[in-house]
Chains A and B, each alone.
Chain A
């Protein structure tokens, strides 16, 4: 899947993946896609909850080689 920007949150624990995803989205345009990589398994539910509460769209949520990869479309 195509994306416009990537944020690697590998090794970070709650709440950093969410707080820094929010920061990474800040300078992006509406409709652009941010790819987030995380190793914290708590991020799986947190990223969905973040999307639900902020209006951004979580396009996909996959596991690749022990890492979690999220595609977040900015509202």
Chain B
């Protein structure tokens, strides 16, 4: 049996959108897939050693369930983003959902390969020292080298 492969492009850097790539990658790896995640644009935030800047905002996110209805005028007040992030993290923990750090570690343990978009690193003048060690740097062609052979390819 040949090993199945999955590639994911992770483009978002918010707390809610950080979960799907890591959940799918760790699960696929557990099922025996060879997995690679290509992090580009805001997705690069997910490779930082310190993930405390990965937040969720209720602003422009009308689908986010809120304990009480909150007008947009209130959502934009200072501190609302941190409060929403704290509430979301408490909710995740209460329901036994792993933290991003834990899921990311499980991916690495299962040999999921992380590729960071070099162009984005240069564009946003990001400091590679802020990223975790297990990251390769590359571009779109490098991604296609793997993605072209995959059974599943997702854009998140």
**B27 within 8 A of partner (CB):** yes
Interface of A is mostly: helix
Q: How many B residues touch the partner, as a band?
A: 10 to 19
* A13 B32 Cβ-Cβ under 8 A: no
* A18 B27 Cβ-Cβ under 8 A: yes
**B68 within 8 A of partner (CB):** no
Interface residues of B in 14-54 (CB under 8 A from A): 23, 26-27, 29-32
* A19 B95 Cβ-Cβ under 8 A: no
Interface residues of A in 4-44 (CB under 8 A from B): 11-16, 18-19, 21-23, 39-40
* B97 A19 Cβ-Cβ under 8 A: no
- Extra inter-chain contacts (15) besides given A16-B96, A19-B26, CB under 8 Å: A12-B98, A13-B96, A13-B97, A14-B97, A15-B26, A15-B27, A16-B98, A18-B27, A18-B30, A19-B29, A19-B106, A40-B96, A50-B30, A50-B31, A53-B32
The interface of chain B, by Cβ under 8 A from chain A, is: 23, 26-27, 29-32, 95-98, 103, 106, 109-110
The 8 nearest A-B residue pairs measured at CB: A22-B30, A15-B27, A13-B96, A11-B96, A13-B97, A19-B30, A12-B96, A53-B31
